Amino acid sequence: MDNNSKYWYSMSDPAILKVLGNFIRRARLNQNRTQQDVSDAAGINRSTLVQIEQGNGSTLLSFIAVLRTLEQLHLLDVFEVKQELSPLQLAEIEMKNRLRASKKTPQNNKPESAW
């Protein structure tokens, strides 16, 4: 566990919300955008954005909408689960891939003779 993780774990949930709200506020101000502009673009009420910026919480959906509006969705990359395969697993998968199509068996569609 690195030092940043220890820092986050020592914080209370409301303190983390305040840090996140401060980040949203700084990103908005760095882009020279008003609360009304960002909330309109995100499709949320301005009061919701005020709550987020003050660290009073909101829905995750609203938070994501604000991140999208501020072009900060790249921050969510850390939540992506990446599964790394070993060379043996890759070889097994490669062996299972088809190299050729199988021959089609001829079908006899002629009606049977009464003889």
Q: What is the pTM of this model?
A: 0.67
pLDDT at 91: 82
Sign of CA dihedral 56, 60, 62, 63: positive
Helices (H), 1-115: 3-9, 13-30, 35-42, 46-53, 60-69, 87-96
Q: Rounded mean pLDDT of 3-21?
A: 87
Instruction: Compute CA distances 106 → 37, 100, 109, 110, whole Å.
Output: 67, 18, 9, 12
Which one-letter amino acid corresponds to residue 49? Answer: L
* Backbone Cα Rg of the chain: 28
In sequence order, the 6+-apart residues with CB closer than 8 A to the CB of 73 are: 64, 67
Q: 19-51, pLDDT tens digit by residue? A: 999 999 999 999 999 999 999 999 999 999 999
| 16 CB neighbour count, 10 Å cutoff | 13
User: 12-78: what fold?
Assistant: 434 Repressor (Amino-terminal Domain) (1.10.260)
